[in-house]
Amino acid sequence: MSNYKILIVDENTDQVEQFETFFDIVSKLGISESNSFEIFNLTELEDENDLYRCITDNDIDCVAFDYKLMENNSSFSQQGDIYQSHLLEHFEGFPTFIITNNSDDYKKMNSDPFKIISKKVINFDTESPEEIAEAKGLIDKIIHLVDLYKENLQNIEKEFYDLIEKQKNEEKLSDIDFARLVELDSKIENSISRKSIIPKDWKSPGGIEAITNLADNSQIILQELKKLNNE
């Protein structure tokens, strides 16, 4: 069974509870098949670092932002789509959604219409086959995005590891390989895993000489990677 941790960011606690109820019903109806969902919530925010800490501390798989976060005298200083945009700058490609009453809201924001969650779907009629199908579609969408993100990250880490292993075996890496190594490390660093290995000063223009000495450090890097992969 796969467990997915979903963070709901909404100033309205009632709407957070509706989301929790949705997943309870989905589970009872067997819509989620062998998958389970653990719901976390943020109903207030001092600054965006609170959001990032919540994601990393709880190993969150997906974040859903209410679109209108600045209502009801909330502590949020921006709408949900702005927080979503900043999160994606912080964690590249991370699975996110916008929750809204109006499916056309995406026209007002810089957000992918595929990543819009209608509140109508959250409050679906369990007696309606059509609405049950929509609920299942949402579940499938969440699972797809989370699994795709994790798969892509694993592929990036594997490619990074393979290049380090190649260097360890004293196979000459081309300039393209070294550039790719730095690029992959940056992608890992700008992901939920935060597993950056290469020292930051190696990534500067003056760091090329240092990175060409990677063979001397490959064993240490491999050991660190193994530790991280076992966490």
Can you give the pLDDT at residue 58? 93
Q: State the residue range of the domain holding 163.
A: 152-229
Give the three-state DSSP class for 42. Answer: strand
What pTM does this model have?
0.78
User: Is 223 inside any structural domain?
Assistant: yes
Specify which residues 8 forms β-bridges with.
41, 64
Same domain, 101 and 23: yes
CA distance 51 to 60: 11
Same domain, 14 and 107: yes
Same domain, 28 and 117: yes
Can you give the pLDDT at residue 39? 92
User: Is 138 inside any structural domain?
Assistant: no
Can you give the pLDDT at residue 208? 44
Distance of CA 122 to the CA centre of its chain: 21
Same domain, 116 and 165: no
Same domain, 119 and 6: yes
Same domain, 20 and 114: yes
- Taking only Cα atoms into account, the Rg of the chain, rounded to an integer number of angstroms, comes to 21
Same domain, 12 and 105: yes
Query: Which candidate, 177, 162, 116, 175, places its Cα nearest to that of 141?
Result: 116
Q: Which of 108, 123, 138 represents a domain boundary (last residue)?
A: 123
Contact (Cβ atoms closer than 8 angstroms) between residue 31 and residue 134 = no
Same domain, 112 and 170: no
Torsion of CA 187, 190, 193, 195, to 10 degrees: 70
Same domain, 109 and 205: no
User: Is 72 inside any structural domain?
Assistant: yes
Can you give the pLDDT at residue 1? 65
Q: How many domains does the chain have?
A: 2
User: Is 133 inside any structural domain?
Assistant: no
**Which CATH number is 48's domain given?**
3.40.50.2300
Can you give the pLDDT at residue 129? 93
Same domain, 60 and 156: no
User: Is 45 inside any structural domain?
Assistant: yes
Q: How far apart are the first and last CA of the chain?
A: 20
Same domain, 85 and 161: no
User: Is 32 inside any structural domain?
Assistant: yes
Can you give the pLDDT at residue 199? 52
Same domain, 109 and 163: no
Tens digit of each residue's pLDDT, the chain (231 residues): 689 999 999 998 888 899 999 999 988 888 877 788 999 999 988 888 889 999 989 999 999 999 888 877 778 888 898 999 999 988 888 999 999 887 666 666 666 666 888 888 999 999 999 999 999 999 999 999 999 999 998 898 888 888 878 777 767 778 888 788 878 887 887 787 665 555 555 554 444 445 545 444 555 555 655 565 555
Can you give the pLDDT at residue 113? 66
Can you give the pLDDT at residue 140? 92
User: Is 171 inside any structural domain?
Assistant: yes
Can you give the pLDDT at residue 130? 94
